[in-house]
Amino acid sequence: MAIYREKRKDRFTIIDNVPLQDSNISNKALGLLVRMLAFPDDWKFYESDLVKRCNKDGREAIHNQMLELQSLGYVTKIHNRDKNGKFAKTDLVVHEQPISPSTGKPSTVKPSTVKPSTENQHLLNTNKPNTNITNNSNNSLSNKADNIPDPFSDLPMSKEEREKEINDLIYKFTKEGGFSVSPAEAQQMKNAMRSVVIDDAESCINQALYAISTGTIQSPVGYLISLLKNSKDDSNG
């Protein structure tokens, strides 16, 4: 069987052969890894956004694929601290080569019996993914991932810290959106944000701000609340 390759012009991604030839990674997790490597290097990943972009998989499938990638060292977490030394947001970092959890450096264990090419060791990404945005479970990975920390979970925070995060997001939403809200509308947004994790709330804020910038919505608050509700329904589905 031959391989037909298109001539490279633009909107292409070069990926290291290591994950592509890694016999320890499932095809589904590999597909998610390749999809994530096609994004810009400074892209922030949220579970709700990945679920919407991978619309053939449900939240549980994406969640289990991320756990697998984390267990193999292709996804790591960075716990950021604020100026007072308290834990702030957690960033997910995607790697072309697996990272050893003990050293934080590329693993010295060969992930595959096939020797990978030494060319194209770094990601070349000229693709600008579209910012516009069925539930199949993937239980086969659940046993292997039982002891892996949830890559999308919020860091432990007090009720006061969580409320501050929510207030900061509402302030960001109104300031960058260029509008004001009534106390009742602010309370509605707070209630909706309390039902989802902070990262999902921030993802919904960013989606709503993008929609506002395109002039496609008439009620920013109502649109944001609908996004938050859908995000909550996805997590329960």
Per-residue pLDDT tens over the stretch 45-97: 877 778 888 877 888 888 889 889 989 999 987 766 667 666 566 678 899 88
d(CA 47, CA 65): 11
pLDDT value for 182: 93
What pTM was computed for the model?
0.49
Mean pLDDT score of the chain: 75
Tokens representing residue 109 in the block: 């264990």
pLDDT value for 139: 41
pLDDT value for 200: 81
Residue 143 pLDDT greater than 60, yes or no: no
Residue 33 pLDDT greater than 70, yes or no: yes
- Selected residue with higher pLDDT from 197 and 115: 197
d(CA 172, CA 205): 8
pLDDT value for 113: 44
d(CA 11, CA 161): 41
Per-residue pLDDT tens over the stretch 114-125: 444 444 434 344
pLDDT value for 85: 64
pLDDT value for 134: 35
Burial of 233 from C-beta contacts in 10 A (0-12 / 13-18 / 19+): exposed
Residue 6 pLDDT greater than 70, yes or no: no
pLDDT value for 145: 44
- Selected residue with higher pLDDT from 44 and 81: 44
Per-domain residue ranges of the chain: 13-141, 159-236
